[in-house]
């Protein structure tokens, strides 16, 4: 049986994709886990498979939903060792053509909810001198992404915030990591209107949801500030640090035109 250093966990966005796979891997390792998402039926299907699992039905785009998770991660009575901020979505298209209300919802979920949950989790973890926070970001956080402008901007925030928190928690016994996957086949494509990516990008450009979830859990256990699954994407991220931003910006724009 795979072993992790955390005795309990909470995963947001756990009804599908990376979140659901993390829940599965935690369950197979015997880690009691709280599953958070809007779709309670899907959460119950996962929870019924493992001992010690429980469900919080919550829409993290609302204050009520965020407060429910904040209360859970900040509880001293039911300590949660690992908090995974995985909930999020994207919106594809030309920025000027998009629904501003949807963009606001995207920022609320990807940025505001994650920030409040991270704040509550770290306050509790620092007080007891141990804990693990894993924020799911994206390789899109390392460069602008025309056609996914707001998504990439929210993920840039997540990566930057997480790196800062990693340093703030240094020496406290608390681990903070950002998981930055590349293309991964999940329901993200359907919700962000990027389903055409599956036909546009070759098989080698896709990472499996199993490998991404595994890399995230292993990486936060080892206190890696940035976790980028897959050699291809690690190389792209390393390159983005040395190529002038004007070049990466233009390449991203050209890639968006190829996709559409």
- Asked if residue 157 lies in contact with residue 200, where contact means CB atoms within 8 angstroms, the answer is no
Name the nearest CA neighbour of 88 among 45, 146, 6, 148. 148
Q: Where does residue 89 rank: exposed (0-12), middle (13-18), buried (19+ CB within 10 A)?
A: middle
Q: Where does residue 26 rank: exposed (0-12), middle (13-18), buried (19+ CB within 10 A)?
A: buried
Alpha-carbon distance 44 to 79, whole Å? 21
Alpha-carbon distance 101 to 99, whole Å? 5
Residue 187 has which token pair?
């329901």
Residue 148 has which token pair?
């996914």
Which residues are 54's β-sheet partners?
Answer: 34
3-state secondary structure of 179: strand
Helices 114-128 and 63-73, packing angle to 10 deg: 10
Q: Please identify every residue annotated as catalytic.
A: 151
The number of beta carbons lying within 10 Å of the beta carbon of residue 34 is: 24
């Amino acid at each position: 049986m795979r072993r992790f250093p955390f005795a309990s966990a909470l995963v947001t966005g756990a009804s599908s994709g990376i979140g659901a796979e993390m829940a599965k891997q935690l369950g197979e390792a015997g880690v009691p886990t709280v599953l958070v998402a809007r779709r309670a039926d899907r959460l119950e299907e996962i929870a019924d498979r493992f001992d010690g699992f429980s469900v919080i039905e919550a829409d993290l785009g609302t204050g009520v939903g965020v407060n429910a998770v904040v209360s859970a991660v900040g509880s001293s009575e039911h300590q949660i060792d690992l908090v995974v901020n995985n909930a999020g979505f994207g919106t594809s298209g030309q920025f000027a053509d998009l629904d501003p209300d949807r963009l606001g919802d995207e920022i609320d979920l990807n940025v505001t909810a994650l920030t409040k949950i991270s704040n509550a989790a770290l306050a509790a973890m620092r007080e007891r001198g141990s804990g693990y926070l894993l924020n799911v970001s994206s390789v899109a956080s390392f460069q602008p992404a025309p056609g996914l402008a707001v998504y990439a901007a929210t993920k840039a925030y997540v990566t930057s915030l997480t790196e800062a928190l990693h340093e703030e928690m240094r020496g406290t016994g608390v681990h903070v990591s950002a998981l930055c996957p590349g293309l991964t086949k999940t329901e993200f494509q359907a919700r962000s209107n990027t389903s055409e990516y599956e036909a546009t990008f070759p098989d080698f450009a896709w990472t499996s949801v199993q490998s991404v979830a595994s890399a995230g859990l292993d990486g936060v256990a080892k206190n890696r500030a940035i976790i980028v699954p897959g050699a291809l994407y690690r190389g792209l991220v390393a390159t983005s640090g040395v190529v002038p931003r004007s070049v990466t910006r233009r390449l991203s724009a050209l890639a968006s035109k190829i996709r559409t």
